[in-house]
Amino acid sequence: MLILNIGDGKGKTTASIGQIIRSLGHGFKVCLIQLFKNNNFYGEQNILLKLENLDFFSFVKKHPYYLRGISSEELANLCDSAMRKLRELTIVDSKKYDLIVLDEFNVALRDKLINENEFVALIEKLSWESNVVVTGRGSPQALIDMADLVTEMKEIKHPYKNGVRAQKGIEY
């Protein structure tokens, strides 16, 4: 099954982490490939790295909003490293995982840091072998069309708008 957690609201990654926990609870083998998140900054990373049956890979360790000082070429190369890992999954490990979570890949697609056609083709192949979750803002319509389940997180109200800074344990 292909599952998308999309939209401008908070909770896309959080929902995918819940899916990981649920799958691990059933003894499933899980792979998480994450973009745009610093290692050991987000609280969930500290826990996930300790769990059995979870392979965790992190690429592009900063969020695009904070990427001052990194060239677009370097950014594209880092995203290509994540795509190489994804290609490897389709060739070598296509049946190794029960669940594959691709966190923030929609952002890379939206910003044209990875090739949409290639990504969609890889996801189509992987979703025949494993359940796949893709998160992030800006999901392409082609991915939405092929998904089995799409959940949109919609922001209604957020404390940022009142000047409240990101809270440890809530936003990260």
Dihedral class, residue 6 (left if φ above 0, else alpha if ψ from -120 to 50, else beta)? beta
Task: Give the list of residues 6+ apart from residue 145 with CB closer than 8 angstroms, or none.
Answer: none
Number of alpha helices (DSSP H) and beta strands (DSSP E) in the chain: 6, 6
| Residue 74, helix vs strand vs coil | helix
Q: pLDDT tens-digit profile of 92-117?
A: 766 789 999 999 999 999 999 999 99
41-54 average pLDDT score: 83
Q: What gap in Å lies between CA 88 and CA 94, rounded to an integer?
A: 8
| Confidence (pLDDT) at 33 | 94
Fold exhibited by the domain 2-155: Rossmann fold (3.40.50)
Q: Which residue has the tokens 């998308």?
A: 4
pTM above 0.85, yes or no: yes
> What average pLDDT does the chain have?
88
